[in-house]
Chain A
Amino acid sequence: MGLTGLLAKRLLRSVVVVVGVTIVTFATLHLGGDPTYLYVGEHASAEEIAATRVKLGFDQPLTTQYLRFAHGLAHGDLGDSLTFHEPALGVVLERFPATLELTLTALSLALAIGVPLGVFAALHRGRPLDGGIMLLALLGQSVPSFWLGIMLVLFVGLAWHWLPISGRVPLLDPLFAGDWRTAWTNLPQALPFLVMPSVTIAVFSLARTARLVRSSLLEVLSQDYVRTARAKGLSERRVIVHHALRNAWLPVLTMLGLEFGFLLSGVVVVETVFSWPGVGRLVFNAINHRDIPLVEAAVIVFSLLFVSVNLLVDLLYLRLDPRIRLA
């Protein structure tokens, strides 16, 4: 299959996934039977319930309801939030820059520290350094992120007063508005607030990245072409950088897309610990107020973003993997 065929197939898969996501979200809403009860208070009268049911269209056949839902979605209408009394999608998008800011910072941290650690461990395979790094990585994959956050708040924040335990100075919001000057002047104040939450979210991914990079590099190092490169008398440094790492980072690229989605999920819990004013804390409050449309909007926004990022990564992969590019 040519590159165009692969591209078309990959795009079609994304479309199928997006349609699937809308169907699953819709179906989840109807899992417990009539969803009207999710939209009214506990003490709603029978008339109120009936009126809400008609108003939200839950008296219609399921197919009609789904089509209405999909139609609304296509027009950016996901219903009104029960607590904010305004369009749920707007409420989610308004807080989205804060969450993206945290996710991207955490992803950068995970890569900037995890990749070198993994390479370092692979190059010292079997020695105590390798063992130490891998044990730390295993520990990093075993800590509940929100608990790590709590510990940081308790010790770094409350006991030693090194860093602020909650709050945020916006960076991405002014940037999205095209005002890079404000973003730049905000940067020094914003960083201290970013440190603890982003480290908390990054730890798991950092550990996983280190382990993946290590095993990926070790696998490449055992290949014939690496032996050939060594036999040619190339310096070890050249073998690693030009021959091994070039191929070892392809699995890491694939992981990047998945990791992004994983970090987005982690944000929900960690934002709650640090009172970070993003989508995560919004979802937490929505859980407490049983604000279904808001959670639904968050699920859809995150999923669409997730699907797009994975598509992007796969396209990059098609572009970068010489086995596919030159086929």
Chain B
Amino acid sequence: MSAAAVTPPIGAFTAGRRARRSLLRAKWPLLALALLLLITAAALFGPSVAPVDPNRQNLIARLQPPLAVDRRSHRVYWMGTDALGRDVSSRLLYGARISLAVGLVAVLVGGLLGTTLGMLAGYFGGTVDAGVSMVADVQLGFPFILLAIMFLLVLGPGVVNLILALGIGQWVTYARIARGQTVAQREKEYVEAARALGLGHGGILVSGILPNILAPLIVIASFNVASVILAEAALSFLGLGVPPTVPSWGGMLAESRDELLAGHWWLALFPGTAIMLTVLSFNILGDWLRDFLDPRLVAVT
């Protein structure tokens, strides 16, 4: 009889359902999500799908153009072979691992570091705040890529150092947002209540404030994965990425450099396109997440 029985209660529109609806209405984010799933699948199952071992050299079949057929095995090199006769399509499949793993883990490192420092700065204020702001200012005083180059030159290249260099380069963004948001939450009633109930600083920060400031951080993280993947590719291109035995998109581009003048375009075209599509997907997803989670955040990026 009553109106309440006809219209569903507001709580029925859970975040999950709202997200699904909004995703289905927008074409691009859905496409981006599908593409990312595909790339993740390549990263996870690449080894079992790849036509050949990405490191197997075949000097007879060097620099075969795309769609060339191997004379002995009659296998098709869909994306051609490189200067050592390695199959480009197999290397591309394996390369998804490095780009995704490095991108995600570096963002996780930077995000954790930045959120922690930012929340501490916002919550305690005073000296802690001043200290964190000062370090952030100093970090922003460096052109990021150059500092990363120096870091990797001193410590040597490798996956862990690469992730550290990229991750540490990102923390400031998270710290700034986490700080501002924490300051806004600090004086709210629920924090007061938690304090009155005898919850310690750690408890208030982690179980009280963090869930309330997570949305903008997630949005930033999505864009951030995109820019970290680009930075990883740039560092790999400069020869500071993962070792050459591990196929990576940036590394493939670095190797293509010597083949450019000979016009072996496929060596650069495919890995570059892979990077671009991955980064584009993360950017589109970030755009959608931003509109979905926090419409007020439009001006941040």
Chain A residue numbers with a CB within 8 Å of B144 are: 265
Contact assessment for B154 and A284 in the assembled complex, using a CB-CB cutoff below 8 Å: no
Is B224 part of the contact surface with A, judged by Cβ < 8 Å? no
Contact assessment for A154 and B143 in the assembled complex, using a CB-CB cutoff below 8 Å: no
Contact assessment for B141 and A150 in the assembled complex, using a CB-CB cutoff below 8 Å: no
Whether A154 touches B150, Cβ cut-off 8 Å, given contacts A20-B141, A24-B142, A142-B279, is no
Is A139 part of the contact surface with B, judged by Cβ < 8 Å? yes
Chain A residue numbers with a CB within 8 Å of B269 are: 151
Contact assessment for A28 and B141 in the assembled complex, using a CB-CB cutoff below 8 Å: no
Is A283 part of the contact surface with B, judged by Cβ < 8 Å? yes
> With the chains together, A46 CA to B233 CA distance in Å?
38
Is A296 part of the contact surface with B, judged by Cβ < 8 Å? yes
Chain A residue numbers with a CB within 8 Å of B260 are: 150, 153-154, 158
> With the chains together, A219 CA to B297 CA distance in Å?
11
Interface window among A50-58, A72-80, A236-244, A300-308: A300-308
Chain A positions 263-305 with a Cβ under 8 Å from a chain B Cβ = 264-266, 268-269, 272-273, 283-284, 287-288, 290, 292, 295-296, 298-299, 302-303
> With the chains together, A23 CA to B139 CA distance in Å?
11
Chain B residue numbers with a CB within 8 Å of A17 are: 137-138, 140-141
Is B284 part of the contact surface with A, judged by Cβ < 8 Å? yes
Interface window among A1-9, A29-37, A168-176, A178-186: A29-37
> With the chains together, A266 CA to B284 CA distance in Å?
23
Contact assessment for A147 and B268 in the assembled complex, using a CB-CB cutoff below 8 Å: yes
Contact assessment for A292 and B154 in the assembled complex, using a CB-CB cutoff below 8 Å: yes
> With the chains together, A273 CA to B154 CA distance in Å?
24
Whether A13 touches B137, Cβ cut-off 8 Å, given contacts A32-B154, A299-B147, is yes
Is A108 part of the contact surface with B, judged by Cβ < 8 Å? no
Whether A150 touches B147, Cβ cut-off 8 Å, given contacts A158-B261, A272-B238, is no
Is A16 part of the contact surface with B, judged by Cβ < 8 Å? yes
Chain B residue numbers with a CB within 8 Å of A141 are: 226, 279, 283
> With the chains together, A81 CA to B215 CA distance in Å?
48
A interface majority secondary structure: helix
Contact assessment for A28 and B256 in the assembled complex, using a CB-CB cutoff below 8 Å: no
Number of B positions contacting A (CB below 8 A): 51
> With the chains together, A38 CA to B156 CA distance in Å?
10
Is B145 part of the contact surface with A, judged by Cβ < 8 Å? yes
Is B280 part of the contact surface with A, judged by Cβ < 8 Å? yes
Is B234 part of the contact surface with A, judged by Cβ < 8 Å? yes
Is A144 part of the contact surface with B, judged by Cβ < 8 Å? yes
Contact assessment for A38 and B154 in the assembled complex, using a CB-CB cutoff below 8 Å: yes
Chain A residue numbers with a CB within 8 Å of B28 are: 135
Contact assessment for A268 and B149 in the assembled complex, using a CB-CB cutoff below 8 Å: yes
Whether A144 touches B149, Cβ cut-off 8 Å, given contacts A13-B137, A17-B141, A269-B238, is no
Is A21 part of the contact surface with B, judged by Cβ < 8 Å? yes
Chain B positions 234-252 with a Cβ under 8 Å from a chain A Cβ = 234, 237-240, 250
List the A residue with the shortest CB-CB distance to B240. Answer: A287
Q: Identify which of B135, B145, B277 contacts A269 (C-beta below 8 A).
A: B145
Closest A-B pairs by Cβ, 10 of them: A20-B138, A147-B272, A142-B280, A265-B145, A142-B279, A265-B143, A17-B141, A150-B268, A299-B146, A302-B143
Name 26 A/B residue pairs within 8 A (Cβ), A-sorted. A16-B134, A17-B141, A18-B141, A20-B137, A21-B141, A31-B155, A32-B156, A38-B154, A138-B283, A139-B276, A143-B272, A143-B279, A144-B237, A147-B253, A147-B272, A147-B276, A150-B253, A158-B261, A215-B298, A215-B299, A265-B144, A269-B238, A283-B146, A287-B149, A287-B153, A292-B153
- Using a CB–CB cutoff of 8 Å, the interface residues on chain B facing chain A are 28, 134-135, 137-147, 149-151, 153-156, 226, 230, 233-234, 237-240, 250, 253, 256-257, 260-261, 263, 265, 268-269, 272, 275-277, 279-280, 283-284, 287, 298-299, 301
Not counting A16-B137, A21-B142, A147-B233, a sample of 18 additional A-B residue pairs whose C-beta atoms are within 8 angstroms of each other reads A20-B135, A142-B276, A144-B276, A146-B233, A147-B275, A150-B253, A151-B268, A154-B263, A158-B263, A265-B143, A292-B150, A295-B146, A299-B150, A303-B141, A306-B141, A306-B143, A307-B141, A310-B141
